[in-house]
Structure 1
């Protein structure tokens, strides 16, 4: 630790032992104990603890811990995407984004959930998935207080308050808050039904509709009436049932 109260690690205060085996990691962090092969790697790691971000973007002044991170960030301003997929030609700003994308074609899912065993193409997707098990919802709406597990879900939710509908149908000009809703809507024009039942062959425009349909085969009835206990395959059917009791669902 230096006189300013911050930890540092440089080649001057961490010397490389003579004849060091390349597989050893002799440089350790005084804060968390993590070890590294090179003092430069340790210096970079220490910035996680100190919050030091010596590299910055000359356009927007955003700061970074690594010079390579600045280089990658600059592509958000220039629009440069130098990494392209050999299978489909899609381009990316970072090599790591391409690596994750390629798994769509290969089917590789190296990251798995230790709770339910579900596998994912990226660690970030797994991290978001884990919130389903923990119930963590760190992104909250300042308008109504509703919380979400993903920042993208919050962004879509905010459009309820602002009335923004950035995704519009080129055929009928109808606007939507989410791109997925637009994709589902377009199928009403094209007649496309990409989701088919393996049991009877019936096709649907949305995966959710197929999921509800499958309950007719497996007799699953997850929606139950709190008044009489009767079970239903779909929430819409339960809502209709409540009219018998003369009250609305809550």
Structure 2
């Protein structure tokens, strides 16, 4: 017997898998962290997340000793050492260590953005990205640096920022030696050397290294102002421009 999602037509072999999948469409996250309030679709994801607060990392890489909060993260990490990426994109050939990473990547080619902001209409490929984006509208910055007091919308941004104080740069570019605090920042930087611009405007054909830059560019054609300041009503094409303008009202300096 198969179970099919009425929203997207995806099939599942178990009803429990279908129920879990439906949270992609409903946005429901019934498992909430008691420390920071972050929500999750699965209890196992909540348990793994809680180690961020406790610092516990029970799964250790036998190659380099790096610790992980979950066994899945450890298996994915080990591909860094083995080079194994069993899941390949049929469109561009890019390999991935996890099947869900491949599924998420394929949205680059299809343009699918199933998670939409109810306030400004901006679309996202990940539900987590939508949740983070919503904080730009609500003004919520729940993660604070204990060293300098700077606030962040995501715990990962806080952890990356704290390396500014420690001076650690965990990821280095093999072409120029530049260091980065995050692996995805290194991957994004490497497009400087390769010239790769995978995000293309369907109107004028201009290419971009980041999907966010493409979205901002598209407002040139539509005339849309995606981000609006509630105090004065002024509109901006990008969230960064909105945050910069916010300082006019708050008097905050960089």
Q: Which range, TM-score by smaller chain?
A: 0.3 to 0.5
Q: Which structure has more RCO (C-alpha within 8 Å, separation ≥ 6)?
A: 2
Larger Rg over CA atoms: 1
TM-score by length of 2: 0.47
TM-score by length of 1: 0.48
